[in-house]
Structure 1
Amino acid sequence: MTALHGRFSRSQTIIQSGAVIDCEDKNGNTPLHIAARYGHELLINTLITSGADTAKRGIHGMFPLHLAALSGFSDCCRKLLSSGFDIDTPDDFGRTCLHAAAAGGYVNSVFISFMKSVLDYTLTCHFYYKITDNYTFKLFFSLIRNLECLNLLLNTGADFNKKDKFGRSPLHYAAANCNYQCLFALVGSGASVNDLDERGCTPLHYAATSDTDGKCLEYLLRNDANPGIRDKQGYNAVHYSAAYGHRLCLQLIASETPLDVLMETSGTDMLSDSDNRATISPLHLAAYHGHHQALEVLVQSLLDLDVRNSSGRTPLDLAAFKGHVECVDVLINQGASILVKDYALKRTPIHAAATNGHSECLRLLIGNAEPQNAVDIQDGNGQTPLMLSVLNGHTDCVYSLLNKGANVDAKDKWGRTALHRGAVTGHEECVDALLQHGAKCLLRDSRGRTPIHLSAACGHIGVLGALLQSAASVDANLAVVDNHGYTALHWACYNGHETCVELLLEQDVFQKIDGNAFSPLHCAVINDNEGAAEMLIDTLGANIVNATDSKGRTPLHAAAFTDHVECLQLLLSHNAQVNSVDSTGKTPLMMAAENGQTNTVEMLVSSASADLTLQDKSKNTALHLACSKGHETSALLILEKITDRNLINATNAALQTPLHVAARNGLTMVVQELLGKGASVLAVDENGYTPALACAPNKDVADCLALILATMMPVSSSSPLSSLTFNAINRYTNTSKTVSFEALPIMRNEPSSYCSFNNIGGEQEYLYTDVDELNDSDSETY
């Protein structure tokens, strides 16, 4: 604290009391660093006299002389230099004291951010100037002080060409910070004006970045700085000035060398040359960042205003995309093309303005193009500016385009209109604007979906209400189905949008079930939308709980398949038939058992008292199906309710008992329970295998096991095992081994069973699941 505030007398007392002269703070700075930073000359003299180390490094390896030079305290610099310190010793970043002096006590924030450097003198020293009324005086004073320090260092023999670890000389620092006095002194001392740093930048690049009044840049140009030198990214001083909107710098450069000559004008050359050319022009940079004054200078010299970047976008495209009205105006007035398309999306500047909602830019663009060609121009996907405006909810742009005669029912390559997009995104004001201009709400896309379908599927109740009202005004059929037979009610139920379901059920046309036989109730319960399901039953009556789809499946089958117990309870409470069978003979219990839905199995065998004796078309019981898929818990829940030994030993079409199936799938607890309930261990299937032999992984292993068992446990010739053994022996003594036992049948579902019941539908169906400019990739449904 004594060093910070320059308390000379108090410091002497503390030193005499035995204080450590080179103690460090948390940043590694000693009292000598702090005194140098704040210009306390007397205290510096006391500290040096008392043995303070002038060569001790502080934060980032800086010496006290660095800090004194940075802050412009020339008298402090003299004191430190008198101690014999090596003036060219660098800090951790390779910066000498001359770099610090050239920085001028003021590091431009634009320079820091743009050059991405580690130039952190001001951050380290907390050295900031606020923009106040006396800012100019303070800055001037600091620059004068640093000029004194710089001259002192130069006169002491400092190397003005010494570079830091980034390859920057003191002249780079002076140019970057617009320190004209230091820059003048360094150039006068012979510093090279065209030296490159590691990024390929000269001092002129840095001046072009930060010099708002052009004074430093002009001086460098007059001293043979080359404005055509490009950095490693291919940018020259023109690019930098354009990117930061320095009009004066551009004018100064243009006065030395015409910009078209300097840039070689051609956009094609800029993209194809191999000698380190930037892929974007100064026009792009100025237009993107909204520097219309810089753009005015550029368009006077650069002839090709439609130069493209690597994506094929022009300066006008970028200006429209960012909403820079003045830049758009400048480029249009100079003849930039309005309808040129980019390479990737084939979009024009009009699309760019519409996408981002820049209504003023949009009006300028359309007003200066042929309306019949501009207003409905399509991109690569057939999307018009109106579609993109609606998609992103830009109401002003929507009205502007409609007032200019945009086709309200134009379709993209998927057959979707602007109204389809409003239905998906839920932008009610845009939808109202479209309907006011006569948009048709029942136009179908390539999948047969209308905007009503999409608004119901996405749950946008406001949009849905507006669309229903519009359709009713022209007596249209609201229950129109898509290509797979689904109505808007199906979609709302499937996605659980209860407010939309309620609104649709208020319409007379939805008081009866139309469309795909996989009913709205099926759709609701398969996705566990209990509220929608209850609403349907209350409105349409309890009879719908036993409605069947095209494969004979009821809503109870759907709920059982997906293990939605609440929906199951709702259906059962309205007298759903627990033992109804589908076209493959499966009951809801079988469906649940086959898929291991234990909660449903427990409810159906306990509360609902499902019939366990029923068999499907392959004569499998629910127990067979549970065992065939390895669902041990489901099988045990069913076994718990079975007391009939005949059911325990029931066979399917392949003559397999549950014990055969459970043993083959390694269900130890199920096998144990079956044996405890009297399952036959000698029952044979259609291949003549007992449950023990069914455990074998293939028929050859089963035959070997039969031979071994016959040797270990001799039995009478009339026993099943003896017969099986003789068959096996006969097979292996036969000269031809082409005849063999049939493999154990694999327990598979019929092709017509629920192959993907987690999706909606009765036939191959697609549901709207993704909205990325309406390019939905729908899941296949059963």
Structure 2
Amino acid sequence: MVVLKIRDQPPLLKAIFSVDPEEVRALIFKKEDVNAQDNEKRTPLHAASYLGDAEIIDTLILSGARVNAKDNKWLTPLHRAVASCSEEAVQVLLKHSADVNARDKNWQTPLHVAAANKAVRCAEALVPLLSNVNVSDRAGRTALHHAAFSGHLEMVRLLLSRGANINAFDKKDRRAIHWAAYMGHIEVVKLLASHGAEVACKDKKSYTPLHAAASSGMISVVKYLLDLGVDINEPNAYGNTPLHVACYNGQDVVVNELIECGANVNQVNEKGFAPLHFTAASRHGALCLELLVCNGADVNIKSKDRKTPLHMTAIHGRFSRSQAIIENGAEIDCEDKNGNTPLHIAARYGHELLINTLITNRADTAKRGIHGMFPLHLAALSGFSDCCRKLLSSGFDIDTPDDLGRTCLHAAAAGGNLDCLNLLLNTGADFNRKDSFGRTPLHYAAANCNYQCLFALVGSGASVNDLDERGCTPLHYAAASDTDGKCLEYLLRNDANPGIRDNHGYNAVHYASAYGHRLCLELIASETPLDVLMETSGTDIMNDSDVRAPISPLHLAAYHGHHQALEVLVQSLLDLDVRNGQGRTPLDLAAFKGHVECVDVLINQGASILVKDFTLKRTPIHAAATNGHSECLRLLIGNADLPSAVDIQDGNGQTPLMLSVLCGHTDSVYSLLNKGAGVEAKDKWGRTALHRGAVTGHEECVEALLQHNANFLVRDCKGRTPVHQAAACGHFGVLGSLLHAAQSVQTLPPLADNHGYTPLHWACYNGHDTCVEALLEQEVFHKAVGSTFSPLHCAVIHDNEGAAEMLIETLGPTIVNTKDGKDRTPLHAAAFTDHVECLQLLLSHNAQVNCVDAFGKTPLMMAAENGQTNAVELLVSSAKADLTLQDAAKNTALHLACSKGHETSALLILEKISDRNLINATNSALQTPLHVAARNGLTVVVQELLAKGASVLAVDENGYTPALACAPNKDVADCLALILATMMPVSPCTPAPILPFSAINHYTTSPSKSVTFDSLPVLRSEHTSYCSFNNISHHDGFFKDEELNDSDSETY
């Protein structure tokens, strides 16, 4: 809110603040604007309402002032009048229909304002006009919340008498009694309790009114709530009791009251902290701590991370409280979960007085903490020199290492405090001592750019060229981390060797390049030319893998986008086309990452643009196109030596345009097209950029290609157009664009691929209903073109009922009996795959249930042979399929179900058979269903066949009965026949069975055992035994030719 000076305001506003009604009337008579607004949108009526002058308010309203005008905080004049507790002003405003439900930006109504400002008489005027006194503001608080918070007893009483909900809660689930308790309004708390408020209610974090009163130290409310019998040890969502909260806030009077009333002084919260932990840490907890200790609090109680109250005093530096805890028996060297003692913690945070107290009480200065570090390590690392002195004076061995071999001098060098470092050096610390990683203190000082420490260590004689386990010197680390170059410069001046390589072959130049430190590179170059350091960098960089880096500094700077470092490097290194292991140049990496400045630097210095890598044979132009870096593309193509660079092909024949479309980079696509990229270019599979857009579904890229007259009918090596690809992948938007472009062609050629499949086949097969609908809107797809395996076959074989229904509705019901190359109808396909919904759809359109294919098989036979029980049940029950029909090998559906061991299917068929002739029907091998069922061990089926009168004496072409058909081979069958003949001598009237010596073949080779469909290429792995398409691979298919091969034929 802005406070304005009266002398700078309009005359009308001056008259209002002067409370001069006559002057106001005179100014209004002179046409002064009664609705004028200041810069906060406050009107003269707001001012009059704030002052509470009823006469001026009435005059302004009668002169046209808007009674419900809102300022920029959405406050109305009624809000202002109520805030000023002006009953007369409120009455006048209400008389002129002021909105009692108006809300400000905090959603507060005039009643909220009245409740917060103790405007009881104003509230009395407002309440009768309100339909609801429980309206909440943005924080969910009602007028009762505001009255309770402000402690206005009379207002609370008024609101309760007018129906205010005493247990209404705000957005934190806090009720009026929470706020009254927190503010210590005891009379309001009593009034609320007497009217039925829940005294033990909880907010969202389970704070009770007792928690609230305890936190703010309201002892009278605490006593009153305890007298009402609330649970003194009730935890909140964090496990904190009222005692925890009181201790944390240093409310010693409340703590004393809670303890006297029986609060558990050792109750822990969710993290295992007791009230004593809180008093040890809080700013005002000294008296609370004394009260807890005197009343049995455990001074050695540990939290879940094993911290004691003494640890807490060490963290926060509570010196006097640490003494009190120690005097009451605290363990000095207790360890937390990291092994740190209070002395470690005090050293870490630099609490010198606490360190004195702990050492005086015989704390172990040689105790190991986290990573085996001593307190002196932590003090040195954190840079507390006075603490270091205290710890050194206790006789500690200064060169004792931690678990990682680091001494205190390592810690001081890493921490960067010169006083600590000098103290340790003067005490005799070994400055060349190496840790477990082979690093000296100088390595740490250089890595952390601690110039003063580095200066002191070198001045003390530290070796500047010592190698760590990775083969790095301090100069390597300085090159990687030193932005201003001071540390690196000092090391170079003290004979640091920039040519030393680490275990991977990288020297300081590589490190500075990788981190983009131009100044470091310039300093190194001023000492030794970079080309000398790199030992004639270029292609030689890969000659000796033992000593040379796998990539050059140019690669590192280019990849990470450090163009300033690159500028230094290109001035010294001769070969800008140096390659890494994959044959990629620095320009390739810069273009791939989209670092325009690096690309510009390298091009200006003569880097080759059209050089190809070793693996994919791609150029930097391909790299930029793959990731959609349009600006890099502009630079590369604009500076290429060849005009045809925009269409340069990689090892798979792909152009930059193809890669941009494949990855959906629309801006790059337009950039390439504007540079003249050819839209008709083909890769080695005959696919164009448009094929890729159709597969990936990038509509904007496809639109760009079509705008540049891309041929949507171009065919790849499989004979597929972009229309095929879009339909197969279900990209409706792309398909729509292609079909719209097709309108420019007077007569579309037949869109069948090399295997006879049209886009409609593909869309139906993959179940893309929207694409099917779009294709059917085109007359050209109404004609039967291509493979006899029709789109309807494709739809039903993959249970795409929606596509199938659209085909029937559009092309007519006659298509349900269309036959493929093996005379199979869509009903055969649906039965083969057990797609009941599609079966029902086809049957509802009069599909011929008993039609046979080239091998004499009906849909029922196909379902039975493949064990498709749902299809079998539908066909024998609802469709009334003819069970007497036989295939070319004279097998019935029952024969076929038994031959494949499909017991459930066989039983479903048997359930509908009552004719004994059909039960004993024989196939071309003279086998009855009983022969076949017995041979396959179908016990339940055999039992049912026998019950229905199946003959046990029927013999097949080999002379075997069903019993002998159970034999696993010819010899066993012959033996079994001989045994049976001996056991049961034949009647003179019955000729003995003659056992043939020819091989007994229960499943002779016949047409029924080698039925195949027409040659169909593979599309999916499912149902390959029936028929399938060749799958359209998505992205990888453009690069892997072997994935696109079609199998010659599939059998089932």
After TM superposition, the score normalised by the length of structure 1 is 0.90
2:327 is the alignment partner of 1:48: no
Aligned counterpart for 2:638 among listed residues 342, 360, 367: 367
SS in 2 for 1:327: helix
SS in 2 for 1:723: coil
**Residues 642 and 648 in structure 1, CA contact (< 8 A), matched pair in contact too:** yes
The one-letter amino acid of 2:697's match is G
Aligned counterpart for 1:495 among listed residues 751, 761, 766: 766
Instruction: Report the equivalent of 1:524.
Output: 795
Aligned counterpart for 2:939 among listed residues 664, 668, 671: 668
| 46-55 vs 580-589, which moves further | 46-55
Aligned counterpart for 2:910 among listed residues 620, 639, 642: 639
Instruction: Report the equivalent of 1:752.
Output: 1012
Measured against aligned partners, the alpha-carbon deviations of 1:415-443 in whole angstroms (never above 9, x if no partner) come to: 11111111111111111111111111111
What is the CA distance between 1:655 and its match in structure 2?
Answer: 1.1
2:802 is the alignment partner of 1:535: no
Q: Cα gap change, 1:721/1:296 in structure 2, threshold over 3 Å: closer, same or farther? A: farther
Aligned counterpart for 2:723 among listed residues 452, 457, 461: 452
Counterparts of 1:721-732 in structure 2, within 5 Å, are: 722-724=993-995, 727=996
Instruction: Report the equivalent of 2:106.
Output: none
Measured against aligned partners, the alpha-carbon deviations of 1:140-172 in whole angstroms (never above 9, x if no partner) come to: xxx4xx211112112222222222222211111
| 675-684 vs 580-589, which moves further | 675-684
**Residues 706 and 721 in structure 1, CA contact (< 8 A), matched pair in contact too:** no
**Residues 420 and 454 in structure 1, CA contact (< 8 A), matched pair in contact too:** yes
What is the rounded CA distance, in whole Å, between the counterparts of 2:991 and 2:509 in structure 1? 97
What is the CA distance between 1:279 and its match in structure 2?
Answer: 1.3
**Residues 391 and 773 in structure 1, CA contact (< 8 A), matched pair in contact too:** no
2:402 is the alignment partner of 1:91: yes
SS in 1 for 2:842: helix
| 381-390 vs 257-266, which moves further | 257-266
What is the CA distance between 1:284 and its match in structure 2?
Answer: 0.4
Counterparts of 1:697-736 in structure 2, within 5 Å, are: 697-716=968-987, 722-724=993-995, 727=996
Aligned counterpart for 1:442 among listed residues 713, 729, 744: 713
What is the CA distance between 1:766 and its match in structure 2?
Answer: 2.2
Instruction: Report the equivalent of 1:126.
Output: none
Alignment identity in percent?
Answer: 81
Q: Cα gap change, 1:645/1:550 in structure 2, threshold over 3 Å: closer, same or farther? A: same
**Residues 388 and 420 in structure 2, CA contact (< 8 A), matched pair in contact too:** yes
**Residues 518 and 761 in structure 1, CA contact (< 8 A), matched pair in contact too:** no
Instruction: Report the equivalent of 1:124.
Output: none
**Residues 694 and 744 in structure 1, CA contact (< 8 A), matched pair in contact too:** no
The one-letter amino acid of 1:777's match is L
Counterparts of 1:64-463 in structure 2, within 5 Å, are: 64-104=375-415, 143=416, 146-463=417-734
Instruction: Report the equivalent of 1:768.
Output: 1032
What is the rounded CA distance, in whole Å, between the counterparts of 2:397 and 2:911 in structure 1? 93
Q: Cα gap change, 1:762/1:67 in structure 2, threshold over 3 Å: closer, same or farther? A: closer
**Residues 694 and 702 in structure 2, CA contact (< 8 A), matched pair in contact too:** yes
What is the rounded CA distance, in whole Å, between the counterparts of 1:486 and 1:533 in structure 2? 16
SS in 2 for 1:473: coil
List gaps (5 residues or longer) in structure 2.
Answer: 1-311
The one-letter amino acid of 1:766's match is N
Q: Cα gap change, 1:183/1:286 in structure 2, threshold over 3 Å: closer, same or farther? A: same
What is the rounded CA distance, in whole Å, between the counterparts of 1:490 and 1:742 in structure 2? 42
**Residues 409 and 421 in structure 2, CA contact (< 8 A), matched pair in contact too:** yes
What is the CA distance between 1:663 and its match in structure 2?
Answer: 1.4
What is the CA distance between 1:23 and its match in structure 2?
Answer: 2.5
What is the rounded CA distance, in whole Å, between the counterparts of 1:761 and 1:529 in structure 2? 19
What is the rounded CA distance, in whole Å, between the counterparts of 2:467 and 2:939 in structure 1? 78
Measured against aligned partners, the alpha-carbon deviations of 1:176-213 in whole angstroms (never above 9, x if no partner) come to: 00111111222222222222212111111111110111
Instruction: Report the equivalent of 2:963.
Output: 692
What is the rounded CA distance, in whole Å, between the counterparts of 1:33 and 1:90 in structure 2? 15
Aligned counterpart for 1:20 among listed residues 308, 316, 331: 331
What is the rounded CA distance, in whole Å, between the counterparts of 2:955 and 2:593 in structure 1? 78
SS in 2 for 1:375: helix
What is the CA distance between 1:479 and its match in structure 2?
Answer: 4.2
What is the CA distance between 1:749 and its match in structure 2?
Answer: 3.1
**Residues 246 and 294 in structure 1, CA contact (< 8 A), matched pair in contact too:** yes
What is the CA distance between 1:13 and its match in structure 2?
Answer: 2.3
Q: Cα gap change, 1:656/1:664 in structure 2, threshold over 3 Å: closer, same or farther? A: same
The one-letter amino acid of 2:606's match is G
What is the CA distance between 1:753 and its match in structure 2?
Answer: 4.5
Instruction: Report the equivalent of 1:613.
Output: 884
Measured against aligned partners, the alpha-carbon deviations of 1:496-550 in whole angstroms (never above 9, x if no partner) come to: 1111111111112223322211111111111111011111111111111111111
What is the rounded CA distance, in whole Å, between the counterparts of 1:269 and 1:721 in structure 2? 95
What is the rounded CA distance, in whole Å, between the counterparts of 2:923 and 2:567 in structure 1? 87
What is the rounded CA distance, in whole Å, between the counterparts of 1:80 and 1:749 in structure 2? 93
What is the rounded CA distance, in whole Å, between the counterparts of 1:504 and 1:446 in structure 2? 23
Q: Cα gap change, 1:744/1:259 in structure 2, threshold over 3 Å: closer, same or farther? A: same
| 266-275 vs 422-431, which moves further | 266-275
**Residues 615 and 622 in structure 1, CA contact (< 8 A), matched pair in contact too:** yes
| 753-762 vs 644-653, which moves further | 753-762
Q: Cα gap change, 1:236/1:770 in structure 2, threshold over 3 Å: closer, same or farther? A: same
Q: Cα gap change, 1:353/1:525 in structure 2, threshold over 3 Å: closer, same or farther? A: same
| 526-535 vs 365-374, which moves further | 365-374
Measured against aligned partners, the alpha-carbon deviations of 1:631-689 in whole angstroms (never above 9, x if no partner) come to: 11111111111111111111111111111111111111111111221212222211222
List gaps (5 residues or longer) in structure 1.
Answer: 105-142, 732-738
Q: Cα gap change, 1:313/1:85 in structure 2, threshold over 3 Å: closer, same or farther? A: same
Instruction: Report the equivalent of 2:112.
Output: none
| 623-632 vs 86-95, which moves further | 86-95
Q: Indicate the RMSD between aligned Cα atoms, in angstroms.
A: 2.1
**Residues 405 and 434 in structure 2, CA contact (< 8 A), matched pair in contact too:** yes
| 628-637 vs 217-226, which moves further | 217-226
What is the rounded CA distance, in whole Å, between the counterparts of 2:708 and 2:835 in structure 1? 45
| 506-515 vs 255-264, which moves further | 506-515
What is the CA distance between 1:717 and its match in structure 2?
Answer: 7.2
What is the rounded CA distance, in whole Å, between the counterparts of 1:250 and 1:533 in structure 2? 70
Q: Cα gap change, 1:551/1:289 in structure 2, threshold over 3 Å: closer, same or farther? A: same
The one-letter amino acid of 2:419's match is E
**Residues 526 and 562 in structure 1, CA contact (< 8 A), matched pair in contact too:** yes
Larger relative contact order, structure 1 or 2 (CA cutoff 8 Å, min sep 6): 1
What is the rounded CA distance, in whole Å, between the counterparts of 1:529 and 1:570 in structure 2? 11
Aligned counterpart for 1:37 among listed residues 341, 344, 348: 348
**Residues 969 and 1000 in structure 2, CA contact (< 8 A), matched pair in contact too:** no
Q: Cα gap change, 1:717/1:767 in structure 2, threshold over 3 Å: closer, same or farther? A: farther
SS in 2 for 1:766: coil
Aligned counterpart for 1:777 among listed residues 1044, 1048, 1052: 1044
The one-letter amino acid of 2:410's match is H
What is the rounded CA distance, in whole Å, between the counterparts of 2:496 and 2:731 in structure 1? 63
SS in 2 for 1:316: helix
| 258-267 vs 205-214, which moves further | 258-267
After TM superposition, the score normalised by the length of structure 2 is 0.67
Instruction: Report the equivalent of 1:628.
Output: 899
Q: Which has the larger radius of gyration?
A: 2
**Residues 171 and 186 in structure 1, CA contact (< 8 A), matched pair in contact too:** yes
Instruction: Report the equivalent of 1:115.
Output: none
Measured against aligned partners, the alpha-carbon deviations of 1:716-764 in whole angstroms (never above 9, x if no partner) come to: 477576422xx5xxx5xxxxxxx65456426863332589895699988
